Structure 1
Amino acid sequence: MDYNKTAKEILQLIGGEENVQNVIHCMTRLRFNLYDNSKADRNKLEKVLGVMGINISGGQFQVIIGNEVPKVYKAIMENSNLKKDSGEKKSDHKKNLLSNIFDVISGVFTPILPAIAGAGLIKGLLAVALTFGWISNSSQTYIILNAIGDGTFYFMPILLAVSAARKFGTNPYLAAAIGAAILHPNLTQLLSSGKSISFIGLPVTAVTYSSTVIPILLAIWIASYVEKWVDRIVPNALKIIFVSAITLLIVVPVTLITVGPLGSIIGNWLSLGVGALFEHGGIFAGLILGGTWSLIIMTGMHYAFLPVIINNITKNGFDYLMPSMFMANMGQAGAAFAVALRSKNKSFKSIAMSTSITALMGITEPAMYGINMRLKKPFIGAIVGGAVGGAYYSFVGVKYYVLGGNFGLPGIPSLIGPTFLYAIIGLPISFIAGLIAAYFIGFEDIEGQEQDALASSKEKEADTKTNGIVMAEEIYSPVKGEIKPLSKVNDPTFSREIMGKGLAIYPEEGIVVSPVSGTVTTIFKTKHALGITSENGAEILIHVGLDTVKLEGKHFTAHVREGDFVQVGDILVTFDMNAIKSEGYDLITPVIITNTDLYRSIKEMKEGKIDIREPFMTLIV
């Protein structure tokens, strides 16, 4: 295929690039937002070399290309003046208030975590050096290193202002100016003088804004509305000067008089509340939090703790909440290890062992979703492990000193401080508690599948004939759920078998595993779809849900990368079913053999309900 020629023909037949608002691509198709869909010539487009079909869904004009879509997309961008989609467009689907709050908190704090983690590690190591007398706090070296580590936290309002501005849709540099204003040395000195302060007769409450979190978030949220309002009333010729000036003159005083004191009070009370909970609640505080942290992560509510955690670290130098996440992760690792010890299925035993190791490294999704939740009872053991470890941490007063971003063994430096030794002891306590609880609670093992697979393999070896390109083989189910024919998929790309023959599954669990042993050839950046080529040559597309590319990766977690070799049953992707359904998407998952033309027939091997790793389709050459 001549990608440049195809790209130019597509651009011409959709009404020219002037008819394009924006264009992105998913695993199989180009997705255009056109100003006028009627200007596109569907009949001629379907005849363009490389175009498999046309579909209009959710307002998008979709040109179905297949596996070559990244190359056609690249050619379109190179042969036009179109700009790549930024991925920041808002979803058309309404969210509830709680989801919006979590989305804002996550969107604001995630971009600045690398700066916080790096600076925090420097502060932690410097504290250790000071404790052991390796450096003096009066030396110039210490002063410089302390500035490197502490600068991020002292000027936290400016970092948050820029990040919040991007999330709220206002000018990030104007937001930074607001943060700089409330941190100005002269203003800081005035606010800390102890004198009565007023602005045009209105009282200003003395608040120290360095290292604060909540006041600046409230300030930038207000600024996003003020700037838009001012922009509407100021004439175009004066906008560049007066919009920013008026916004600053409104938002900074409002912050100093009302928002700042309110945010400071909220932040202080949250910190005091958490401290009181752990100081007076004793082991019960850690037991409850350590035991429920995995459930909190599953619901996405852990984002709500981020402002409290950062506020605790910047104000107090430590946090009580984060150690419980270490304990929850160790509990998940221990429970998965118990499954590896008890399972009689060699293949599943191997998977459980590997996911236990990754959980120890702080990546818990494979163990939590692929092993413990799948078998149900081991998840109870994981909760027990987290609760026991959390209770121990509360009892000895373990604290979290550095926001490091990893809550497994690589994240141990985050615990460096006076309680570091107690923290290290707690890690195996939680792991062993989760292991013992899961081991003795027991579970219904995954039985017989490995033997079935071996027998199937021998049958294939006897019956296989080759055409020089592919070999006959069985495809195992990548998803647990109910089998549906492709004709039931509400998307003509799949229902008309444009991409190839196959089956669909309506999932019951948010886990996708490998249906073959082979190589991951493609995984789209939004993680909703991926392609695998088996050792016998089958090219398989797994597409989770319809139009889920619009989620831009939200609610999906990829556990493999392009080029990875995978075995049958290895976890590829996990996804939050409830969150995706709540946003209005159909979760039906087509599994397509994209090189269908190389097989004499493709037959389904089961109807109705199916579990992962069960025989699903057979490919006959």
Structure 2
Amino acid sequence: MNHREVAEQLVAKLGGKNNVISAAHCATRLRLVIEDENSIDKNGIEELEGVKGAFSSSGQFQIIFGTGTVNKVYQHFAPLVGASMDDESTNKGESHSDAAKRKMNPFARFARTLSNIFVPIIPAIVAAGMLMGLLGLMKTYNWVDPESAIFVMLDMFSSAAFIILPILIGFSAAKEFGANGYLGAVIGGIMIHPSLLNPWGLTDATPDTLDFFGFGVEMLGYQGTVIPVLLTVYIMAKVEKGLRKIVPNAIDLLVTPFITVIFTGFVALLIIGPIGRILGNGITTVLDVVYSTAGPIAGLVFGGLYSTIVLTGVHHSFHAIEAELLANVGGNYLLPIWAMANVAHGGAALAVLFKTKNKKVKGIAGPAALSAFLGITEPAIFGVNLKYRRPFIAAAIGGALGGAYVVFTNVMANGIGLTGIPQFAIVQDPLNYGIGFLIATIGAFIATLLLGWKEEK
């Protein structure tokens, strides 16, 4: 494959250099912000060597090349459109992330903001979830004494990420909102200060109450919570940016952080924190009622619709809800449902691989199916299933069947972010998760063969 030649052809089919506002790439895709998407020759792009699919989502036109190939194409593509090699655009004077957000509608922009906040901290939550799974195995099969030093220390390691979650979110959210990340971490630290009662793992403890000018302040910490710190840091960012506009540069370093921390700290403990706690508890309570009442029907609906939600980009906002579930419920019952929807696309792509006679489609469907089983669904969704439509519907059927089963058997995960095969590391019931995995995959495979699709010549 001549990567330079592909890059040059790509620029032409995108409508020329001036039609590309910004360019970046992830592990598998080129991510482009385009001035006028009507000028794109989408069919021509999909015929280029190495291209496994192309689609528009989240304010970006995305072209799937696959792991390894996308980096090599970008090396030649970036100079042609005026983008730098650190994935930031230079031709319009703004970052790629800002350019993409500008092209989104408000709801999609909100979902993308939540995604940008939570994606950087997912590794910490995944590590904690895997440790919780290991501790569960140790306790269930009596591998070690729960009073032993190794068990106690591993228990500390597993709970640390959730105890300091407001600090992690505070830092990440402040950076996303355009504020100082360390001030965001300080606000998160205030919300889990040792003077506040730590509710993590406690059920019947009663916090003290302070009399603040006649207003009772409950001394209860926010360990493991999500929404309170998100709302508070959003206010903090507004305060900090507002102060920087009016405070002289000579005293900015002293005055701005000082006033920001004092004002936001009071707001956190007196107003936003309690409201955020009520809001977070309300969301998890509603979901818990739906989960407990509708049962497998909820899994059927959520598993069937998740792939359609992915097309809108709204699924990026689910990380916040899942983190709240981990803190309030003790497990994430949404992630196994999402996993069923994802692996179902692998089953549908496998069926296309099995039946198609088109060599290029076979070359895309095989790796796309494997990618879906590992939790990365874009190649399968946009490169195969959505392209032929009926396999996409078949994947929704498989996801619905698998989703119904994991809800019926109460499968939960100890973290967020991992689906497919990697989720075995953080799931609480690997056996029933594996059965649901097979149901979703086989169901989508059979449904794809039964529904069929229009074969390309």
C-alpha distance 286-346 of structure 1, shift in aligned 2 (>3 A)? same
- Say which is worse superposed, 346-355 or 95-104, in terms of deviation: 346-355
Please state how far the C-alpha of 1:88 moved relative to its aligned partner: 6.7
- Contact 2:195–2:219 at 8 Å: present in 1 too? no
> Structure 2 CA distance, aligned partners of 1:156 and 1:414?
18
1:413 to 419, 425, 441: 425
> Structure 2 CA distance, aligned partners of 1:341 and 1:94?
39
Please state how far the C-alpha of 1:121 moved relative to its aligned partner: 1.3
Q: Which amino acid letter does the alignment assign opposite residue 357 of structure 2? A: K
> Structure 1 CA distance, aligned partners of 2:83 and 2:132?
44
- Contact 1:161–1:172 at 8 Å: present in 2 too? yes
> Structure 2 CA distance, aligned partners of 1:370 and 1:408?
19
Q: Secondary structure at the match of 1:187?
A: coil
C-alpha distance 132-25 of structure 1, shift in aligned 2 (>3 A)? closer
2:166 to 157, 160, 164: 157
Please state how far the C-alpha of 1:75 moved relative to its aligned partner: 12
Q: Secondary structure at the match of 1:188?
A: coil
1:133 maps to 2:145: no
Tell me what 1:509 maps to: none
CA deviation profile, 1:469-511 (whole Å, cap 9, x unmatched)? xxxxxxxxxxxxxxxxxxxxxxxxxxxxxxxxxxxxxxxxxxx
> Structure 2 CA distance, aligned partners of 1:111 and 1:121?
17
Tell me what 1:170 maps to: 179
Unaligned runs of 5+ in 2: 1-21, 26-74
Q: Secondary structure at the match of 2:98?
A: coil
Q: Secondary structure at the match of 1:278?
A: helix
> Structure 2 CA distance, aligned partners of 1:401 and 1:132?
18
Q: Secondary structure at the match of 1:137?
A: coil
What is the 5 A alignment of 1:146-225?
146-188=155-197, 193-225=206-238
- Contact 1:275–1:320 at 8 Å: present in 2 too? no
2:111 to 102, 105, 125: 102
C-alpha distance 75-188 of structure 1, shift in aligned 2 (>3 A)? closer
CA deviation profile, 1:405-455 (whole Å, cap 9, x unmatched)? 33111332121x2x32211111111111111111111112223xxxxxxxx
- Contact 1:182–1:188 at 8 Å: present in 2 too? no
Tell me what 1:441 maps to: 451
Tell me what 1:276 maps to: 289
> Structure 2 CA distance, aligned partners of 1:349 and 1:94?
34
Tell me what 1:334 maps to: 347
> Structure 1 CA distance, aligned partners of 2:281 and 2:230?
15
C-alpha distance 182-134 of structure 1, shift in aligned 2 (>3 A)? same
- Contact 2:196–2:219 at 8 Å: present in 1 too? no
Q: Which has the larger radius of gyration?
A: 1
- Contact 1:271–1:311 at 8 Å: present in 2 too? yes
Q: Which amino acid letter does the alignment assign opposite residue 355 of structure 2? A: R
Please state how far the C-alpha of 1:346 moved relative to its aligned partner: 4.6
> Structure 2 CA distance, aligned partners of 1:67 and 1:358?
25
Tell me what 1:402 maps to: 415
**TM-score between the two structures when normalised by the length of structure 2:** 0.75
More strand by share: 1
Tell me what 2:98 maps to: 90
- Contact 1:335–1:382 at 8 Å: present in 2 too? yes
C-alpha distance 25-120 of structure 1, shift in aligned 2 (>3 A)? closer
> Structure 2 CA distance, aligned partners of 1:336 and 1:68?
29
> Structure 1 CA distance, aligned partners of 2:84 and 2:184?
38
Please state how far the C-alpha of 1:94 moved relative to its aligned partner: 5.9
Tell me what 2:267 maps to: 254
Q: Which amino acid letter does the alignment assign opposite residue 409 of structure 1? A: I
> Structure 2 CA distance, aligned partners of 1:75 and 1:432?
44
Q: Which amino acid letter does the alignment assign opposite residue 128 of structure 1? A: L
Tell me what 2:258 maps to: 245
1:429 maps to 2:442: no
Please state how far the C-alpha of 1:266 moved relative to its aligned partner: 1.1
> Structure 2 CA distance, aligned partners of 1:432 and 1:74?
43
> Structure 2 CA distance, aligned partners of 1:286 and 1:89?
33
Q: Secondary structure at the match of 2:326?
A: helix
- Contact 1:124–1:402 at 8 Å: present in 2 too? no
Q: Which amino acid letter does the alignment assign opposite residue 399 of structure 2? A: G
C-alpha distance 172-274 of structure 1, shift in aligned 2 (>3 A)? same
C-alpha distance 69-431 of structure 1, shift in aligned 2 (>3 A)? closer
What is the 5 A alignment of 1:270-349?
270-349=283-362
Please state how far the C-alpha of 1:95 moved relative to its aligned partner: 4.1
> Structure 1 CA distance, aligned partners of 2:384 and 2:182?
46
- Contact 1:334–1:356 at 8 Å: present in 2 too? yes
C-alpha distance 253-352 of structure 1, shift in aligned 2 (>3 A)? same
> Structure 2 CA distance, aligned partners of 1:69 and 1:361?
29
Q: Secondary structure at the match of 2:209?
A: coil
- Say which is worse superposed, 97-106 or 356-365, in terms of deviation: 356-365
> Structure 1 CA distance, aligned partners of 2:77 and 2:165?
45
> Structure 2 CA distance, aligned partners of 1:76 and 1:424?
41
> Structure 2 CA distance, aligned partners of 1:287 and 1:414?
22
Q: Secondary structure at the match of 1:186?
A: coil
Tell me what 1:266 maps to: 279
Please state how far the C-alpha of 1:268 moved relative to its aligned partner: 0.9
Q: Which amino acid letter does the alignment assign opposite residue 229 of structure 1? A: G
**TM-score between the two structures when normalised by the length of structure 1:** 0.56
Identity of aligned residues (%): 35
> Structure 1 CA distance, aligned partners of 2:120 and 2:278?
26
CA deviation profile, 1:44-103 (whole Å, cap 9, x unmatched)? xxxxxxxxxxxxxxxxxxxxxx959859x99999xxxx9xx9947733936432122112
Please, what is the CA RMSD of the aligned residues? 3.2
Q: Secondary structure at the match of 1:90?
A: helix
Q: Secondary structure at the match of 1:204?
A: strand
Unaligned runs of 5+ in 1: 1-23, 28-65, 448-621
> Structure 2 CA distance, aligned partners of 1:75 and 1:396?
50
C-alpha distance 68-126 of structure 1, shift in aligned 2 (>3 A)? closer
- Say which is worse superposed, 307-316 or 345-354, in terms of deviation: 345-354
* Number of residue pairs aligned between Structure 1 and Structure 2: 378
More helix by share: 2
- Contact 2:345–2:381 at 8 Å: present in 1 too? yes
